[in-house]
Amino acid sequence: MSQDPLEVLSAFMDGEPVAPDALAAALHVPGARDALLDFAALRAGLAADDSRPSPALRRAMDGILGRRAQPVWRVLRGFAAVVVLALAALGAVSLGMRSRGPTADEPPRATRVIQFTPGVDWHEGVQR
Amino acid sequence: MSTPDAARLFDQHHLAVFRFLRRMTGSLSLAEDLTQEVFLRVVRGIGSYQERSREISWIFRIARNVLADRHRSQARTPVDAPVHDAAALARPAVQALAIALDQALSRLPDEEREAFLMREVGGLGYREIAEASGATPDAARMRIYRARLALRQALGPSRSAAAVNPREVSK
């Protein structure tokens, strides 16, 4: 079956199998190069289409597909959980520091007071 | 056999389907409605999807059916409304090409436009286009070729020596 040479180029552009001989013959046809460039330009023109559906389509489909948008209260709930955790961590650290007792730099607290009366409990200048 | 996830199919393919339908109908709002209908059918029919065909091929087959149902239920509305993205139209060269391409596409016979767009927008192969449209792969190849020649002529071949009259192509 003989094919139109430009049809061979068209199929080749689409990645369809073409006979090497037919492709070679097609490329020798006057205007083949220009046709190939025009076909490529058409492809580029269509690829430049950046139209998008409105957000309403996605919202509708999210409902159908069972995907829900994050409601505000859910975001707030997450934020509140983070705040509670942070406060709890802060409290734990503070409690831990308090229960550790005085540090090495601080003198120990007095537990009883011992009184010495001069002349009774001790004498100045007396050697024992 | 695994069943594809409908949400993933929508995320991956809805733009191609939307753009295909936009070019086929010439209307943004109608294309949007039909895209939703396509994915409704995808959700309903996902259990019957067979892995022997690619997902995109299956979805375009559904898109074609949705389009056919639409044509059956209503007379096709002639649409001259602009269907271009406003940002893209800010660039004169893009504007000129986009408008010319849309006009040239709208003048193609439905079968040729459909096959051509399935190829260029959906990336379907000739066999897949044939399966989707109930034609043979040879017919799909010929439709795409005719569409290319007609579009080339309508947009003006870049070199006059390359001009080919699409009407001379054997039917």
Q: What are the tens digits of pLDDT across the range A20-39? A: 999 999 999 999 999 999 99
- B17 shares its domain with B92: no
CATH number of the domain to which B36 belongs: 1.10.1740.10
Mark which of B27, B51, B80 sits at the end of a domain: B80
Rounded Cα gap, residues A13 and B63, in angstroms: 25
Do both B94 and B170 map to the same domain?
A: yes
Q: Which of B50, B65, B80 is the last residue of a domain?
A: B80
Q: Indicate if the pLDDT at residue B171 is higher than 50.
A: no
Do residue A34 and residue B157 have CB atoms under 8 angstroms apart?
yes
A42 token code pair? 């058409």
How many domains are contained in chain B?
Answer: 2
- A3 to chain B, minimum CA–CA distance in Å? 10
Q: Which domain holds residue B123?
A: 84-171
Q: In which band, very low, low, confident or very high, does the pLDDT at B129 lie, cut at 50, 70 and 90?
A: very high
Question: Element (H or E) spanning B149, and its range?
Answer: helix B137-155
Q: B159 to chain A nearest CA, in Å?
A: 6
Whole-angstrom Cα distance, residue B62 to residue B37?
9
Residue from B152, B165, B167, B171 whose CB has the most chain A CBs within 10 Å, to mutate: B152
The reported pLDDT for the residue numbered B162 is 35
**Which residue of A1, A7, A54 to mutate against B (max B Cβ within 10 Å)?**
A7
Residues B64, B142 within the same domain: no
Given A35, A45, A46, which is nearest B164 (Cβ)? A35
What number of residues does chain A have? 128
* Listed residue (B155, B166, B152, B67) closest to B118, CA to CA: B67
Question: Cβ contacts (< 8 Å) between A34 and chain B: which residues?
Answer: 157-159, 161-162
B11 and B93 housed in the same domain: no
Check residues B116 and B91 and name the one with the higher pLDDT. B116
* Nearest to A42, CA basis, from A76, A16, A69, A13: A13
Closest Cβ opposite residue A10 in set B101, B145, B170: B145
Does any CB of chain A come closer than 8 Å to the CB of residue B96? Answer: no
Of B31, B62, B56, B10, the closest CA to residue A65 belongs to B10
Q: Amino acid identity, residue B7?
A: A
Among residues B80, B95, B122, the one where a domain terminates is B80
What is the signed CA dihedral for B66, B69, B73, B78, rounded to 10 degrees?
A: 60
Asked if B88 and B69 sit in the same domain, the reply is: no
Q: Domain locations in chain A?
A: 5-47, 55-99
The model's confidence at residue B94, banded by pLDDT at 50, 70 and 90, is low
Sign of the Cα pseudo-torsion (B158, B162, B163, B166, in order): negative
Residues B29 and B21 sit within 8 Å (Cβ to Cβ): no
Interhelix angle for A32-47 vs A20-28, to 10°?
A: 100
* Rounded Cα distance, B86 and B91, in Å: 9
Same domain, B1 and B63: yes
Chain A residue nearest residue B9, CA to CA = A65
